[in-house]
Structure 1
Amino acid sequence: MADDEKKNGETELELVKDLDMSSIDEEDDSFNACNFVFLEQISDRITSFVQGVFHRAVGDARMSEQWFPAMLRVVRVIITADGGDVLTPEALTRAVELDESIKNIAVQSEGENGTTVDLSFAQVCYHAGPQCMQMSILQLWQYDKATIQKLTKQQILTAIHQSKSSGSSRMGMSVDVVQYLGGVEVSSNGSSSASGGQTEIESAEAMSMTYFIQTYENRLNPEPYVLEWEQRFLDTCSEGIEGYSVYYLAVRSFSDIGGGTIKGDLRFLGVGYILVILYLTINLGNLNFLESKFWVALGGIVCIVMSMAFSVGFSSLLGFAAGPLNRLLPFLLLGIGVDNMFVFVAAYDNLSSEEKKGLEVSEKIALMVKHAGVSILITSLTDFSAFAIGASTIIPSLRSVCLFSAFGIVGVFLVTLFFFTGILTYDQKRKEANRYACLFCCKLPSDYSPNECSKRPLFYRFFDHIATTVLALLPVKIVVVVVALLLFAIGLAGTVQIEQDYQEDWFIPEGNYFYDYIQISKQYFQSDGDEAFVFFGAVDYYANDEKLLRLPEELGAMPQIASSRIDFWLTAYYGWLNQTTDASVIDSTDSKRRPKDADEFIRLLNLFLQRPSGMKYERDINMNEEQTVITSSRMLVWFYKTSKSSEGIEAMDNSRAIVDSVGLGNENAFIYSRILFTWEGFTVIRAELFRNVGLAFAVVFLVCMILIANIITVLLVLCCVVFTMVEVVGVLYFWGLTINVVTTINIVLSIGLVVDYAAHIGHSFMLASGSKQQRVRKCLRAMGAAVFNGGITTFLAFLPLIMSKSFVFSTFFKVFLLVAFCGLFHGLVFLPVALSWFGPAPYLSVQRQKEKQQYTAPTHTSEKISATVV
């Protein structure tokens, strides 16, 4: 047995494989030799950092796969008696009938010269010795239906009790069959135990049957006939057993159910795009025949698609591999790109009549870019920096999506600057030509005049008349500050309490056979944890046999390891030497029944592997071609299920320490399991989250200092970002979520969106003249609606995910709902209040321009909102 069925199932889904940290690999971090030298250096540093943190897990994984490539897949059945007893002749008869149906499954495979070959179970199963390897209480009676039908209840219990005392033997495999029973009840003079107790068993509510299927190339990408066999296995089990409940699982189940759920929920993201297009059509322009921006909205979506193509193409050109979460890239770019579009349109609409007077459309567009370009540059650079910092993470999926997003930000900025402005230019020419907004080939009547109500959209009127007036009131300002501090306190309380956790069944929706199997497995087979192996290299097994023989006892003493399920070939080998009556073998041993020398150790080992009791260990020992030297071997260990990350970390550290104490060196003796990636991830995931967020804050601060160039404004903007992120993490705790790779990815990605909400307002404030309160009113009038619309479109893009059954997508919805709400509150409510009290003076160039205007036009009294404040 090389991998537990649950771990096999977990790796079948690409996303989950990435989430449990097992896909860390040098190939993910290296570039092709033809790429730029500086990019190769960056990649090498990332690789070194990854290996520095996950050195043992990464190295151990590669070495174990090199020594013992995993070439089997596991399927499993659990049968329950619905509160009754499965240790009855009838129940066992029904079970063996299901076993026969499973073994009668035949599939076809393509043979040589395109011929079709029929394969029976015996040809697709994983062999241990001459027979198929499987695990079930039915092995007590050799899976013989005739024998089982004649059993009595007492004979069944007696056979189980005898197997507890001496071990059940099948193909020389001595095992405790009680581990295949769940809900065990024992007699009054015994005690119940997850592993069967010590005792006389009276009944059991569940039994399990496990089958192993052979693959020859890659167990994660098996031959087609293997997948076909698994599907027929699922179909056979779905027919059920009369009077009993059947729960079943195959490796492909995680891909079919988990992956299918994610793929099915992608339709919700399509609905989100439609909602955004409708919202853009309504709010990007005015709702009348002349000023509507329907084609501009569609052009904006095209810009997002172009930027995504740039991101994927450029990243792939540099050799970066796409991760499973990159499918969400269009929606990250949508939220940022739409924000830029609203800023550009707002900048054009806010051009003063003096600036528009006598200018061609192209010249007006140039003025728009002049005023709005800096604001977009600020947010683009901060977003790019935040994603670039995220790309230094050790989490493969986060690293991939951050790299692609960083290049996507560059694409959004360039496409918006050069392509979207062209769309706006042609739309304004259409407008000046008095043509219909949608049917631009047709002209409007010469006397057509848009309705006055439609000339200023609702949100613009709200920020122009209501928001600016209300936020100027002192009681309102006090309430805003109190609410902001209260939200921050709640967020901080949740942030310090949030735990880190990850469970595989989070990715499985309810209402399917896979989910039912997981729940029943938790109920009846809690001791079924995670399989691991202690691997040994080309060491002197004869000279170190005493140290090696102590390992099972020392590991079995750990509370996190099932001592009854440790299986070591060396222990079995020496047990055989002590029990055999073969004179030739006895003559080759000393008085302690130990081989006389190293040569005899190998000779007798080869003899042991030919015996029934040793056949199953053939796959646990690798020798050279001459069968004279052991090149590598392994010992089976079984970890119990852990409910807390701290338990897993303790199990990992203690088991490694025990194996290291043998003194053979990490390269020659180490313990490895896929669960170790998850546990090792637990040791750094919290630090990784706060590291990425902290570095992102630092980079955002530096970029804002360079572009906004005012310490007070930058600190207030950063304060809004910090408040928002603390509140998001804190509310996630109260929402029942934990720190895991999914939430970490969401939080890191959301920083780029959070910055936008505050940076536009802060920069606009610095470009406005007048008193602090007047400048707040100006920046809200000019930018409030644009920022609000950008936040709403981000929310709309993810809104359909509220119906998602996928853990990944539902988490995205929760995070970005909080990001939109908290980000808009701090950017549009708290920041203006803070600026009205603590805001600095405007840029010196703005002050000089204001003085120049007052000097040249002293009688001017009207205060038109200038594009300068955009």
Structure 2
Amino acid sequence: MEIEEKTEQRPQLGKLYRVAQAISLRVESFYYNLGLQIARRPKRWMLGCSILVVLCIGGALRFRQEKNPLKLWVPPDSDFIRDTEWLMSTFQEGVKIESFIFTADDVLEPRALLRLNEITARLIDAQSQNSPKIAWTDVCFKVPIVTVISQQLGDPANPYKPGFDPAAHLPPRFYCEIINSLPSGCYLLSIMDIWEFNSTLIGSMTKEGIVDRFNAARVSPTLGHPMNFTELLGGVTRDDSGRIVKARAVKTRWIVHVNFTGVDMDQTGNDAGTADWTTRDVYEWEGSFLRELEEAQVELNQRREKSNDSSDAYSVYYEAGRSFGDISSDSIFHDIDKLVLGIVIMSIYVMLILSKFNWIELRFWLTFVAMFCITGAFIVAIGLCSLAGIPYGPVHTSLPFMLMGLGVDDTFVMMASWEEVNSQLRHLGKPLPERVALALSHAGAAISVTSLTDVVAFVIGASTILPSLNSFCIYAAVGVLVTFVLQVTFFVAFFTLDCERAESKRNGLLPCVTHPSFGSPTKRPHESVSWKVIDALYVNVVLTTPGKLAIVAVTVALAALGAVGSTRLEQWFDPMWFLPKDSYLSEYLAVRESEFPKVGFEANVFVSDVDFVRQFPKILNLSRTMQAAPFAESVKNWADDFVEFVEANFHKDAENGTLAESEFSVYLSKFLYSRVGAKYRRNFRFADGNNLTCGEPAPKLLMASIDFNFVKFTSPYEWIPGMDGAKDTVATFGLDSEGGFVTVWSEVFASWVTDKVISQEVVRNLILALVCVMGMTAILVAELQTCFWILSCVLLTLLDVCGFMYFWGMTIDVVSCIGLELAVGLCVDYAAHVAHAFLNVSSSGNLEPRADRSARALIAVRHIGSAVLFGAGSTLLALSLLSLSRAYVFRTFFKIFLLVIIFGLWHGLLLLPVVLSTIGPRSLRSDGQYVQAGDKQVQVERVDAAAVPLNK
């Protein structure tokens, strides 16, 4: 039965072999004819390509760079995007917080407070440099100054204790006249408020007096609102009674008003897509805020250096809403000089590899054209994608490196094929166009497999849910395709002209200069250094039995380590990684972490479009549940305060007894104009654009929010469950069951949402990329065993890269996700070139199968190995300077590319030849095969394997 099954399988395998052979011959025939047409009319092809490139560049007129972080880093179908758009349209305005931290041995000493008050006064008086001048009072969030009510109508000892409230009992007309006459003041959270920002008053007090006054303060003397000043101190020391008597740090928070309808990210955004949402006036004021604090820090440092008094060691650390965007963008683009220098070094390297050390075979202009094709492909990609309306993103900066890696690799493959053609005596007498066509027939088939596989992999990668990665994959697919097209057209055309120049003995740098006495260029590849090194390494080590066993053993060990590392690779991204460690923002965050370690991120629960009167008990229970939740702290529970207010002033049970709608409206209005409830006024929005009016019932309520802080999280394994827990807690109350809208929102969710899906995206993209590699190699190579080994090499390379990312201290994040997407494109090349060359080495019947495979493997590495190695070296050389970069993006790319190059070369140039020389498929070439070139046939067989001696 087994014999019958094998007999039936052989015809099927024979058919597959003939299919692969036919595809290979047709591809080579296509490229032979294409090369012949180009080589006969090179200038016409160069002109045609140039015209098409110029036309495509016209699409750049629609170029648009995306600067909105919401449209770059957050999945567009996420709850965060939906909620943010809803908030923008519903609120249309909001607040942002600027902060600075003042540190001293004891900030409650009179001298320290005087220094702090000087800095605060400077910031209050600061103005922007550009006209019109923007001051603090122009951008601050304003609140009514209710000091008069606290002093005249309340209990002087504790004006905010539950009980009698003027808003509830005084005649509305009398009370509202006072309220409406109140001026507005800027909302500034500062302990200097306790002394009304008066340096004279501070200077007249002793340390004991300052401590007493600080611990007694419950209300802002300048605004009249309740204030918890203890939250502003860090590194506190308390006495036996619990009073704060000393503190190492004090935080001042500046609350800024932002009108969301005036936000224009094209004006205030940055090229890195990391800017905060803000208006132009706030952006300008933040600039003056940062300048004043920088000058203050310099002055404090100078005073400290001049003074020998340790008590005068004051420091200030600061941040503004624009700080992260400014610093992260600067760090990313700060090292552009390194990129340019890397490209220059790479160009010199390419020229040295392509050239020989004489004036005739100096390939200066050929190198320039090779780099020009890559640059042109990048520009064309921008033009075509811009024409299609696809925005350009910050991560696209890495695209030229990938195109250089692939383009230069194609150039080396073309040169390797040219040298192979010229190494065969039967080709030396042929006209130049035919030799160029033969070289392209060999090289074109090889680079087609790698380039088209990369294109399809990037097209599939564009299905990702991350907008920045989606856009990048589209640009990359177009760029790789155009690079491939220009390499097989424009580069081949100029290559023909350059070969004519060399054969005419004209100077490689100045073609107008000839060297008549120069001898004919040597055409002996076996005398080259690379040929000798490959022979010595592969004949004596790699392709021997001990060498094969050693390589397989090392590969297995690497795969085991890669598997261990991959299972431990964590999904973790901290936006602060974008910041250089010596930046002022990094220093601020370090001090905040040490002196205010328990402060978590701010968040809100929003409830909208519900029957607030009937659903109030649920809202109250939700507030109390949030207070008891393990993920939340500092809950601003307006519902509890409202219940106490109604019970104390109207003797109504708002918690257990349902208020009538008219009662709810009246009580809510009085509550929001009361001393205890006024601070919650910004948590409410009313229907139909109506505003709350003192003395009148509140309009129909559209939205109410509950403010809280998350507890301090330390890793994604805490903050992602915390985010999900908050959302689940809100959902359990069923407030949205009747068409209402209830959600939890925090600005930090932008990072946490991406953090939650990024690992799934990495796995998904890599699996799809591997499927594409298998599918495209199956179509273009059509030899199933070869396709399997190519896929295995790619898979092993990615496994090792992911595993050693863990050992190198890297994590899965947006940047590494893009780096791994690029890795697929690079590691395919190493294996595909060697496998394709092995398949197309002519087989011979003079050797036994084992010797024949070994000989073909050696020839394949001789032919393509140096080109692959030189291509990898050029990529590594261009990226080497990035290892010194301050930017997290570039350092990450360098690490991933280095791992890809190391493991890609190991599996492509060592493991794959070992496997192919042992159990590889038979050749697609046999003696006497031809390709169709117009009306005649041209012989295209490669070196006979029987001519290659191998050690046994």
Q: Check whether TM > 0.5.
A: yes
Paired residues of 1:64 and 1:535 also in contact (CA < 8 A): no
Indicate the residue corresponding to 2:564 in structure 1: 493
Paired residues of 2:632 and 2:708 also in contact (CA < 8 A): yes
Indicate the residue corresponding to 2:547 in structure 1: 476
2:636 pairs with one of 550, 567, 577: 567
Indicate the residue corresponding to 1:739 in structure 2: 812
State the shift of 1:836 in Å. 1.0
Instruction: Give secondary structure in 2 for the equivalent of 1:782.
Output: helix
Paired residues of 2:632 and 2:709 also in contact (CA < 8 A): yes
1:233 aligns with 2:256: no
State the shift of 1:469 in Å. 4.1
Paired residues of 1:464 and 1:780 also in contact (CA < 8 A): no
Paired residues of 2:842 and 2:944 also in contact (CA < 8 A): no
**Code of the aligned partner of 1:122:** T
1:437 aligns with 2:508: yes
Instruction: Give secondary structure in 2 for the equivalent of 1:435.
Output: coil
1:203 pairs with one of 243, 246, 263: 246
Q: Deviations over 1:610-642 (max 9, x none)?
A: 445444433322213444212223221211331
2:126 pairs with one of 96, 105, 108: 105
Indicate the residue corresponding to 2:764 in structure 1: 691
The whole-number CA distance in structure 1 between the counterparts of 2:674 and 2:219 is 17
State the shift of 1:453 in Å. 9.6
The whole-number CA distance in structure 1 between the counterparts of 2:654 and 2:795 is 73
Indicate the residue corresponding to 1:218 in structure 2: 263
The whole-number CA distance in structure 1 between the counterparts of 2:788 and 2:230 is 64
**Code of the aligned partner of 1:696:** A
**Code of the aligned partner of 2:100:** V
State the shift of 1:737 in Å. 1.1
2:202 pairs with one of 143, 148, 152: 148
Indicate the residue corresponding to 1:814 in structure 2: 895
- Note closer, same or farther for the CA distance 1:847–1:60 as it changes in structure 2 (3 Å cut): farther
Indicate the residue corresponding to 2:492 in structure 1: 421
Indicate the residue corresponding to 1:768 in structure 2: 841
2:684 pairs with one of 621, 626, 638: 621
Instruction: Give secondary structure in 2 for the equivalent of 1:846.
Output: coil
Paired residues of 1:436 and 1:444 also in contact (CA < 8 A): yes
- Note closer, same or farther for the CA distance 1:127–1:690 as it changes in structure 2 (3 Å cut): same
Paired residues of 1:534 and 1:671 also in contact (CA < 8 A): yes
- Note closer, same or farther for the CA distance 1:20–1:399 as it changes in structure 2 (3 Å cut): closer
The whole-number CA distance in structure 2 between the counterparts of 1:14 and 1:504 is 19
1:336 aligns with 2:406: yes
**Code of the aligned partner of 1:846:** S
1:92 aligns with 2:146: no
Paired residues of 2:129 and 2:288 also in contact (CA < 8 A): no
1:124 pairs with one of 139, 144, 148: 139
State the shift of 1:775 in Å. 0.3
Q: Deviations over 1:761-788 (max 9, x none)?
A: 0011111134010001110111011111
Instruction: Give secondary structure in 1 for the equivalent of 2:896.
Output: helix
State the shift of 1:265 in Å. 1.1
The whole-number CA distance in structure 2 between the counterparts of 1:450 and 1:552 is 86
State the shift of 1:339 in Å. 0.7
Count of matched residue positions in the alignment of Structure 1 and Structure 2: 788
The whole-number CA distance in structure 1 between the counterparts of 2:947 and 2:507 is 29
- Note closer, same or farther for the CA distance 1:105–1:351 as it changes in structure 2 (3 Å cut): same
1:849 aligns with 2:929: yes
- Note closer, same or farther for the CA distance 1:672–1:571 as it changes in structure 2 (3 Å cut): same
Structure 1 stretch 819-828 or stretch 635-644: which is displaced more? 635-644
> Given the two structures, how large is their TM-score scaled by the length of structure 1?
0.85
- Note closer, same or farther for the CA distance 1:287–1:578 as it changes in structure 2 (3 Å cut): farther
**Code of the aligned partner of 1:320:** I
Structure 1 stretch 717-726 or stretch 241-250: which is displaced more? 241-250
Q: Deviations over 1:201-255 (max 9, x none)?
A: 2321111001123343128634544333222222222223452111111122223
Paired residues of 1:19 and 1:742 also in contact (CA < 8 A): no
1:258 pairs with one of 304, 328, 332: 328
The whole-number CA distance in structure 2 between the counterparts of 1:206 and 1:230 is 22
Q: Deviations over 1:789-835 (max 9, x none)?
A: 11111111211101101111111111101111111111111111111
**Code of the aligned partner of 1:67:** T
1:68 aligns with 2:138: no
Paired residues of 1:304 and 1:334 also in contact (CA < 8 A): yes
1:310 pairs with one of 360, 380, 385: 380
**Code of the aligned partner of 1:153:** K
Structure whose CA Rg is larger: 2
Indicate the residue corresponding to 1:10 in structure 2: none
The whole-number CA distance in structure 1 between the counterparts of 2:860 and 2:67 is 43
Paired residues of 1:286 and 1:457 also in contact (CA < 8 A): no
Paired residues of 1:171 and 1:612 also in contact (CA < 8 A): no
Indicate the residue corresponding to 1:249 in structure 2: 319
**Code of the aligned partner of 2:490:** F
1:823 pairs with one of 882, 904, 919: 904
**Code of the aligned partner of 1:577:** V
**Code of the aligned partner of 2:142:** H
Indicate the residue corresponding to 2:597 in structure 1: 526
The whole-number CA distance in structure 2 between the counterparts of 1:215 and 1:229 is 12
Paired residues of 1:326 and 1:401 also in contact (CA < 8 A): yes
Indicate the residue corresponding to 1:8 in structure 2: none
Indicate the residue corresponding to 1:540 in structure 2: 611
Structure 1 stretch 454-463 or stretch 625-634: which is displaced more? 454-463
**Code of the aligned partner of 2:101:** I
- Note closer, same or farther for the CA distance 1:435–1:323 as it changes in structure 2 (3 Å cut): same
Instruction: Give secondary structure in 2 for the equivalent of 1:212.
Output: strand
- Note closer, same or farther for the CA distance 1:706–1:367 as it changes in structure 2 (3 Å cut): same
The whole-number CA distance in structure 2 between the counterparts of 1:441 and 1:761 is 39
Indicate the residue corresponding to 2:880 in structure 1: 799
Instruction: Give secondary structure in 1 for the equivalent of 2:226.
Output: strand
1:758 aligns with 2:801: no
Indicate the residue corresponding to 2:231 in structure 1: 179
1:662 aligns with 2:685: no
Paired residues of 1:181 and 1:204 also in contact (CA < 8 A): yes
Instruction: Give secondary structure in 2 for the equivalent of 1:184.
Output: strand
- Note closer, same or farther for the CA distance 1:107–1:509 as it changes in structure 2 (3 Å cut): closer
1:834 aligns with 2:834: no
Instruction: Give secondary structure in 2 for the equivalent of 1:107.
Output: coil
State the shift of 1:861 in Å. 8.9
- Note closer, same or farther for the CA distance 1:97–1:781 as it changes in structure 2 (3 Å cut): same
Gaps of at least 5 residues in structure 2 are 1-64, 145-183, 269-277, 304-311, 692-698, 844-851, 931-938
The whole-number CA distance in structure 1 between the counterparts of 2:66 and 2:236 is 37
2:188 pairs with one of 125, 134, 155: 134
State the shift of 1:508 in Å. 0.9
Indicate the residue corresponding to 1:788 in structure 2: 869
1:707 aligns with 2:761: no
The whole-number CA distance in structure 2 between the counterparts of 1:459 and 1:213 is 66
**Code of the aligned partner of 2:669:** N
Indicate the residue corresponding to 1:59 in structure 2: 82
- Note closer, same or farther for the CA distance 1:782–1:592 as it changes in structure 2 (3 Å cut): closer
Indicate the residue corresponding to 1:577 in structure 2: 646
Percent of pairs with identical residues: 31
Structure 1 stretch 542-551 or stretch 221-230: which is displaced more? 221-230
CA-based RMSD: 2.8
Instruction: Give secondary structure in 2 for the equivalent of 1:448.
Output: coil
1:727 aligns with 2:783: no
The whole-number CA distance in structure 2 between the counterparts of 1:18 and 1:455 is 58
The whole-number CA distance in structure 2 between the counterparts of 1:219 and 1:131 is 27
Instruction: Give secondary structure in 1 for the equivalent of 2:107.
Output: coil
State the shift of 1:579 in Å. 4.7
The whole-number CA distance in structure 1 between the counterparts of 2:655 and 2:389 is 60
Indicate the residue corresponding to 2:36 in structure 1: none
1:407 pairs with one of 469, 478, 481: 478
Indicate the residue corresponding to 1:551 in structure 2: 622
The whole-number CA distance in structure 2 between the counterparts of 1:578 and 1:528 is 33
The whole-number CA distance in structure 1 between the counterparts of 2:601 and 2:571 is 19
Instruction: Give secondary structure in 1 for the equivalent of 2:335.
Output: helix
